[in-house]
Amino acid sequence: MSMSVGSTPQDGSTAIDWRAEELLVATIADMLEGVRHVAVGASSPIPGAAALLAQQRAGGRMRVSVLGSERDNFFTDGARELFDCAAQGRIDAFFLGGGQIDGAANINLVGIGAYPRSRVRFPGSFGSAYLYFLVPRVILFRVEHSPRVLVPRVDFVSAPGTSPEHYYRPGGPYALVTGRCIFLFDKERRRFRLASVHPGHTLAEIREQTGFDFDSPEAVPQTAVPTRKTLDEIRHVIATKIARTYPAFAAHLFDGVPGGTG
Partner 1 sequence: MVTAARAVARGASGMIQNETQVPVETIDELAARVPDGAQLAVPPDYSGCAMAAVRALIRRGVKALHLVGVPQVGFQGDMLIGAGCVATLETAALTLGEYGPAPRFVSAVKSGHLRLKDSTCPVIHAGLQAAEKGVPFMPLRGVLGSDLLEQRDDWRVIDNPYRMTKEQDPIVLLPAIRPDVALFHAALADRQGNVWIGVRRELMVMAHAARTTLVSIEAFTDDDLLADDRLAAGTIPALYVTAIAEAENGAWPVGLRGCYAADRSHLQRYVEVAATAAGFARYVDEYVGG
At 122, which amino acid appears? F
Q: Are strands 191-197 and 181-186 parallel, antiparallel or unpaired?
A: antiparallel
Phi, psi at 131, each rounded to 5°: -65, -30
Residue of 15, 86, 21, 67 whose CA lies nearest to 245: 67
CB of 83 to partner 1, least distance (A): 4
Q: Is 124 near partner 1 (CB under 8 A)?
A: yes
CB 111 within 8 A of CB 119: yes
Work out which of 98, 127, 179, 260 binds partner 1, going by CB under 8 A. Answer: 127
Work out which of 8, 57, 83, 184 binds partner 1, going by CB under 8 A. Answer: 83
CB of 230 to partner 1, least distance (A): 19
Cis check: omega of the bond before 217, within 30 degrees of 0: no
CB of 65 to partner 1, least distance (A): 8
Q: How many residues bind partner 1 (CB under 8 A)?
A: 66
Residue 238 is classified by DSSP as I
H helices of 32-164, where? 45-57, 81-87, 128-134
CB of 167 to partner 1, least distance (A): 6
List interacting residues with partner 1 (CB under 8 A): 37, 42-43, 52, 55, 59-64, 66, 68, 70-72, 74-81, 83-90, 109-111, 115-119, 121, 123-134, 156-160, 163, 166-168, 241, 244-245, 248
